[in-house]
A and B are shown apart, each in its own frame.
Chain A
Amino acid sequence: MGGKKWRVVCYVNQFYAQIGGEDKAGVGFGVKEEAIGPAIQFRNLLKDDCEVVGTVYCGDNYFADNAEKSAEEGLALVAALKPDLFIAGPAFNAGRYGIACGNMVSLVARKLGIPTVTAMYPENPAVDLFRKDTYIVETGIMASGMRDAAPKMAGIGLRLLKKEPIGGAVAEGYIPRDIILNEEQPDNAAHRAIEMVLHKLRGEPFSSELLPPVFDEVAPAEAVGDVKKIKLAMVTDGGLIPEDNPDRLKPNGSTTWGHYDWDTLMENRHFVIHSGYDGTWVMENPNRLLPIDVLREVAAEGKLGELDSEVYVATGNCASVEASRTKGEQIAARLKERAVQAVILTST
């Protein structure tokens, strides 16, 4: 560095800025052109290569009342200090402070294009919102975890500045960002799998190399009451679409969906774009995927209030959970617009 040190800016709340506790949570932004609170530890840990040029602080209530606007306000103060690295927190299990740290690191990284690091307890509500945007070092629930967290945060920050690689989440102590890293392993997968099984059989600890996706807890929807009085729609992830594919669905990993008038879909050329199952039987008779023939009969008999004339089609082949959630929200919004009260979803 030839004597020149990287500039580090830290973010803390009113408590760590030693302004006060809950009674001072309403104070707005401020800057001290020195290290205060936890920033002192970062100054000491990074002293050979970096200089903490300032600490930006803000009251938790002030920040959380309008997090987006607050983050913009904080960003301006951070940017004025011309940082090379931005460190927020740790926030431990403090919800509002976590939201503040998460918003700050996320916006600073995006707008200033510099490395950022924060730290939280894994169950802090901000973790899920921001874990993909930055490195969130895992801390204990209490502030006494500072001693463990600070060196990990400083280590990751310094290596990001030096453009050195950051290893996997477990080894480095940060919360998984869902980024797949290439790593060379001394043993092949078969050996590692056998080792893992043996550990498991012996009741010894082992760590999985893959983490299953975490699904939401979904509360069952209320019963619809009398189906003779409701409007029903058919939804499928079986990928039956018009031949010209107006919504650009993909055979797998699709991020889009479409809604089609059933009669128009049937009268014109259509096909199964889903590449994860054999669409022959569905093409022979599309009612095998979307039982419109029977539903129309049932409705005509007065045993179903109304059937939506449109069907809602997605492709569920190798779709990511996140993309599926987005599609689900979009489909639900459309169903609500059309006053649909219940859905039958067929999955292939």
Chain B
Amino acid sequence: MQICTVVDIAKSVGASRILRGFAITCPVGNPSVDEKDEKAYRRKYVEKALQMLEHPGERAHVESLG
């Protein structure tokens, strides 16, 4: 599965489990909050990613957090 911000590129090259990341320069985090909150936020990405791996893929399918 792929985590990225420019999801159109992932879609065009044939990815099938795409999760929209936080930013191009920071796929899984959020530099504007403190370290603890950022880690909790990163955990949401990871848990969502693992969940997507357990489900059937679908060409160019994009999910977002919450």
Contact = CB atoms under 8 A, between A and B. Distances in A.
B6 A346 contact: no
Contacts of A343: 1
B31 interface: yes
A223 B54 contact: yes
A281 B58 contact: no
Nearest to A278: B25
Contacts, number: 116
Contact of A216 (B14, B26, B39, B42): B14
A285 B33 CA distance: 13
A346 B25 contact: no
Contacts of B54: 223-227
A224 B57 contact: no
Contacts of B15: 218
Nearest to B15: A218
B57 A288 contact: no
- By CB atoms of chain B within 10 A, which of A222, A282, A345 has the most? A345
B2 A345 contact: yes
A303 interface: yes
Interface string B11-31: 011111100010111111101
A206 interface: no
Contact of A223 (B3, B5, B24, B56): B56
Interface string A29-68: 0000000000000000000000000000000000000000
B39 to A, nearest CB: 7
Contacts of A220: 16-17, 56-59
B3 to A, nearest CB: 5
A224 B16 contact: no
B3 A347 contact: yes
B40 to A, nearest CB: 9
Contacts of B17: 220
A344 B1 contact: yes
B26 to A, nearest CB: 4
Interface string A264-294: 0000000000000111111011011101011
Contacts of A293: 39, 42
A215 B35 CA distance: 40
Interface string A321-348: 1000000000000000000001111111
A95 to B, nearest CB: 25
Contact of A224 (B13, B47, B53): B53
Contacts of A303: 50
Contact of A288 (B6, B26, B58): B26
A217 interface: yes
B10 A347 contact: yes
B42 A289 contact: no
Contact of B46 (A219, A295, A348): A295
A294 B42 contact: yes
19 contacts: A220-B16, A220-B17, A220-B58, A223-B53, A226-B54, A232-B53, A277-B25, A285-B29, A287-B39, A288-B42, A291-B46, A294-B45, A295-B46, A303-B50, A344-B2, A344-B3, A345-B1, A346-B21, A347-B10
Top 7 A-B residue pairs of the complex, sorted by shortest distance between their CB atoms: A220-B57, A218-B14, A220-B16, A288-B29, A347-B4, A346-B27, A281-B26
Interface of A: 215-227, 232, 238, 277-282, 284-285, 287-289, 291, 293-295, 297-298, 303-304, 321, 342-348
Interface of B: 1-6, 9-10, 12-17, 21, 23-29, 31, 35, 38-39, 42-43, 45-47, 49-50, 53-59
